[in-house]
Structure 1
Amino acid sequence: MSRRVAYGGILLAINIILLLLTNIIPINTLFFMGLASLPISIVIMEFGPSTGIGFYIGSVILGYLVMTSKAQWLLYACTFGVYGIIKYAIERDRPIFIEMILKLLFANIVMIILSILLNAFVYIPINLISILTFQVIFIVYDYMYTSFIDYYNTKIKKIIKNL
């Protein structure tokens, strides 16, 4: 139990540091949010989805407190932050084609909702090129997320177990 709390606390601290960097280095906001989404996958792999949901809630609450832009916080909370849980739920003995359709469906529904909410505050140009670009970027993000999970399972997990 103490290992779970300590490991989860360290991962949450890493998560929050990455979210803080969105305030300090505003050019790489999406990059840092993408990195901040990775610790939740570790929590899910190590301790299960229910602990992952608790981790997500903690990261969203702390993220609200440390992120100066609430629009960026909303983007993190609705997309990057929750994606590890969504990915875990979707990738359950389904053909990869169905998994990708479900993931793209999730991403597009969330982006439509966020664009409606955020258009009141920030102009977001939406056209065919931006929609297609989003699809490609999301597929690359999902691939990199999967690559991180594989790397964690094959390399990092062994190192941590030996500590």
Structure 2
Amino acid sequence: MHVKAKQMAFGGLILAVTVVCMALGSVIETNTLFLLAAAAFFVGIVIREFGLRTGAAFYLAAILLGFLVTPNKFYVITFAAMGFYILGIEAVWMFLMKRPQMGHRMGIYWLVKYVIFNLVYLPCLFGFRSMLFQKAVSDQLLLAAVMVGQIAILVYDKAYQYVQGTLWEKWRKRIL
């Protein structure tokens, strides 16, 4: 596999910014989710610029480096979940764009988005109940957490679309 020098340099810089965002999430507690989401958005930038394979390698490198550098490992796991969502939706998008004859592509795309999110979110919510909540929680509160997650993914997805479509398009002309 031959990698261009510019691609390697850009990937290294973005990887450094990603890990800094993860580490800052541990330091600046009030902006943790914002910084982890920003770090995960870089996975999508690398995928769109260099392809799915390079993006997957970048994602794995960010997780490994995050475990080595970041003081709070729980934030790296959160980044991994957010990045996995982006990796998954970008892969599905690329798959669907190669098949223009397929009907209801946007409906399929949104359905798969929710499936990928829930494959990550629900096992974490139910499996790590004691880590997420200080006391034992009722089933109603757990159901509320599931519903809040379904709404939060809409906000996260809209923010990702804005970053990719607006912010990155402006900055990529200056950077690349």
Give 3-state SS (helix, strand or coil) of 1:68's partner.
coil
The count of residues paired between Structure 1 and Structure 2 equals: 160
Determine the C-alpha separation between the residues in 1 that align with 2:23 and 2:168.
Answer: 27
Q: 1:140 aligns with which of 133, 139, 155?
A: 155
List aligned pairs for 1:4-153, cutoff 5 A.
4-77=7-80, 79-91=81-93, 92-93=96-97, 95-123=105-133, 125=137, 126-152=141-167
Q: TM-score, normalised by structure 2?
A: 0.82
Runs of 5+ unmatched residues, structure 2? 98-103
* Structure 1 residues 16 and 137: CA distance shift in structure 2, 3 A: same
Q: TM-score, normalised by structure 1?
A: 0.87
Larger-Rg structure: 2
Give me the identity figure in percent.
Answer: 28
Determine the C-alpha separation between the residues in 2 that align with 1:42 and 1:10.
Answer: 12
Determine the C-alpha separation between the residues in 1 that align with 2:61 and 2:115.
Answer: 26
* Structure 1 residues 117 and 130: CA distance shift in structure 2, 3 A: closer
Query: What's the CA shift for 1:139?
Result: 0.8
Q: Is the 8 A contact 1:71 1:118 kept in 2?
A: no
CA displacement, residues 36-61 of structure 1 (integer Å, 9 cap, x when unaligned) = 01111121111111110110010000
Runs of 5+ unmatched residues, structure 1? none
Give me the CA root mean square deviation.
1.9
CA displacement, residues 24-76 of structure 1 (integer Å, 9 cap, x when unaligned) = 01122111110101111121111111110110010000111222222222222
Determine the C-alpha separation between the residues in 1 that align with 2:26 and 2:168.
Answer: 31
Determine the C-alpha separation between the residues in 1 that align with 2:158 and 2:77.
Answer: 23
